[in-house]
A and B are shown apart, each in its own frame.
Chain A
Amino acid sequence: MTAIGEPIAREGFSLTQYLICLKGIVWREALRFIHQRERFVSALVRPLVWLFIFAAGFRQVLGVSIIPPYETYVLYEVYIAPGLVAMIQLFNGMQSSLTMVYDRETGGMRTLLVSPFPRWWLLTSKLLAGTLVSVLQAYVFLLIAWFWDIEAPAIGYLALFPALLLSGFMLGALGMLISSLIKQLENFAGVMNFVIFPMFFASSALYPLWRVKESSPLLYYVCELNPFTHATELIRFALYGQVNWISLAVVLGCTAVFLFGAILAYDPARGFLARRNTPAGG
């Protein structure tokens, strides 16, 4: 007795099969997300703490003048809300890179990479899955913020969607690139110190850049060059139904570079995986 059904078509995949693969990866990420409620809660608590405590405290200290996209003076918490949305995505991107390192130590990553689909497709699908989770988190955050009187025009919430996809993709690709460089899970604390904090603080998320320029022109240029600044500005403008073209271009460019780098890094022939001095676990 050998029959277990006809063979599955093997040589080359159809477009439908590519989409089945994508759907499977997104669906798994969604299931994982549902089962890790603590992850969802902590991802929300972090920006809310900033919003409720930090922003409230600094409200009197930091006045924000009228700068685009705002048409009136805005309260400090209104100013930092888009920055906190970007922060959600930054943490999410790094978190999924952490998951990838963890998956590599268990067999999860191997299961993914041994799939016969081209590796660029597998990684892009994984990235999209992580991004969708971060988009959901961002909207939940904005909903809570809405009750805190941080309101954007209705069109803004709609325009935000493509912006979030793009910025989430960029930050996720960066996380993926970093994950290929980390040898072990323990090294991840370094990512916090050397990637997340500098990116977040040297950006326009917490303070408008013209204020930074007043105190330190050098820091201002660093902030301008920081891709996270542009993710923040893309989100900020989108939330008010506008497009910041420069930020859009920077985010698009960085996404392309990070994604290309990540795909290269996970390519067995050129990648960093093969260059390690120790065999992968297992």
Chain B
Amino acid sequence: MKRSEPAQIPALEIDRVSHRYGARVALKDVSLAVQQSSFTVLLGLNGAGKSTLFSLITRLYAIRSGQIRIFGHDVAKEPGAALSRLGVVFQSRALDIDISVRQNLMYHAALHGIANRRASELIAQVLERVAMADRSLDRVGNLSIGQMRRIEIARALLHQPRLLLLDEPTVGLDIKARADILDHVRRLSEVEGIGVLWATHLIDEAGAGDDVVVLHKGSVLAHGTVGEVIGRSGGADLRDAFNRLTEVADQGELEAAR
């Protein structure tokens, strides 16, 4: 049985969010939505503001302007309800390499108030899902980077969130491991109806049927299906569309500065 959320509510809704570090503007009036069951690619170069956006969604930083809602729950006003529906795979390693896979997952279960017996069941299920069931007792430090990523995903899914955020999840992976992870997460959104926000700077990670958000220097330049974004920009493919969009934005900025 799946946890039911009203179908029309977006899994994630970011509404006119801005953020600055001192004088430097990191996000400018960002609005976007991740629908339930959708695979949304947040495309941006390094420094585009992806990590800042993730820090705001996960409540590491306070939202000073705008609103972020997870299944309708405002992150600032109802953090508990919002965060319990959210699973995150951070760009930096979040697993403890000295202890076993299972011990890491037990710790995560405790952080969601899940008791031992139930946690054991859930751990068995998530490890099965990422095809790592036989590695449960292995020390995390003995796994390959690709396997660690899979465990990170299992960890993020353990408390059965309906929204999954991944920040550059394929960094450091070889081509095969990259394809495996991408495939696996895409299946999660298709088959299990989880809303996925996949942040990356690798344009080829966006598939034909995905939603895509182009984030550049803190602003959303385009938001829609891959087809829509290509069509609107007049590009030949997504890479071309991305280049055109960012060039236009950079030129506009130059002219404004003159």
Chain A residues engaging chain B, CB cutoff 8 angstroms? 1-8, 10-14, 16-18, 20-21, 23-25, 27-28, 31-32, 35-36, 105-108, 110-118, 122, 267-271, 273-274, 276-282
For B76, the chain A residues whose CB sits under 8 A away are: 269
Q: Is the CB of A107 within 8 A of B90?
A: yes
Q: Is the CB of A268 within 8 A of B61?
A: yes
Surface stretch bound by A, among B81-89, B130-138, B232-240: B81-89
For B84, the chain A residues whose CB sits under 8 A away are: 10, 116
In the complex, B258 has a CB within 8 A of chain A: no
For A1, the chain B residues whose CB sits under 8 A away are: 191
In this complex, the member of A111, A267, A268 whose beta carbon has the largest number of chain B beta carbons within 10 angstroms is A111
Chain B residues engaging chain A, CB cutoff 8 angstroms? 1-3, 21-22, 24, 26, 51-52, 54-55, 58-62, 64, 76, 79-86, 88, 90-96, 98-99, 103, 106-115, 118, 121-122, 125-126, 129, 155, 159-160, 167, 191-193
**Contacting A35 at CB < 8 Å: which of B52, B99, B114?**
B99
For B129, the chain A residues whose CB sits under 8 A away are: 4
**Contacting B115 at CB < 8 Å: which of A10, A16, A274?**
A16
Q: Is the CB of B80 within 8 A of A5?
A: no
**Contacting A32 at CB < 8 Å: which of B3, B55, B96, B193?**
B96
Q: Is the CB of A5 within 8 A of B94?
A: no
Q: Is the CB of A7 within 8 A of B113?
A: no
For B155, the chain A residues whose CB sits under 8 A away are: 111
7 A-B residue pairs with Cβ-Cβ distance under 8 Å, sorted by A, are A4-B160, A8-B112, A8-B114, A28-B107, A35-B99, A115-B112, A279-B55
| A interface SS class | loop
Q: Is the CB of A24 within 8 A of B110?
A: yes
For A115, the chain B residues whose CB sits under 8 A away are: 83, 111-112
For B106, the chain A residues whose CB sits under 8 A away are: 24, 27
Given A10-B81, A110-B94, 7 more A-B residue pairs with CB atoms under 8 Å apart are A3-B1, A16-B115, A23-B110, A106-B92, A116-B82, A117-B113, A281-B92
For B92, the chain A residues whose CB sits under 8 A away are: 105-107, 110, 281-282
Which residue of B is nearest A115, CB measured? B111
A13 to chain B minimum Cβ distance, whole angstroms, is 5
Which residue of A is nearest B58, CB measured? A114
Q: Is the CB of B85 within 8 A of A10?
A: yes
For A279, the chain B residues whose CB sits under 8 A away are: 21, 26, 51-52, 55
Which residue of A is nearest B98, CB measured? A35
For A114, the chain B residues whose CB sits under 8 A away are: 58-60, 83, 86, 88
For B107, the chain A residues whose CB sits under 8 A away are: 24-25, 27-28
For B60, the chain A residues whose CB sits under 8 A away are: 110, 113-114, 268, 273, 280
Cα–Cα, bound, A276→B26 (Å):
13
Say yes or no: A117-B80 contact (C-beta < 8 A), given A8-B114, A8-B159. yes
Cα–Cα, bound, A25→B106 (Å):
10
Q: Is the CB of A12 within 8 A of B93?
A: no
Cα–Cα, bound, A277→B125 (Å):
42
Say yes or no: A8-B99 contact (C-beta < 8 A), given A20-B113, A110-B90. no
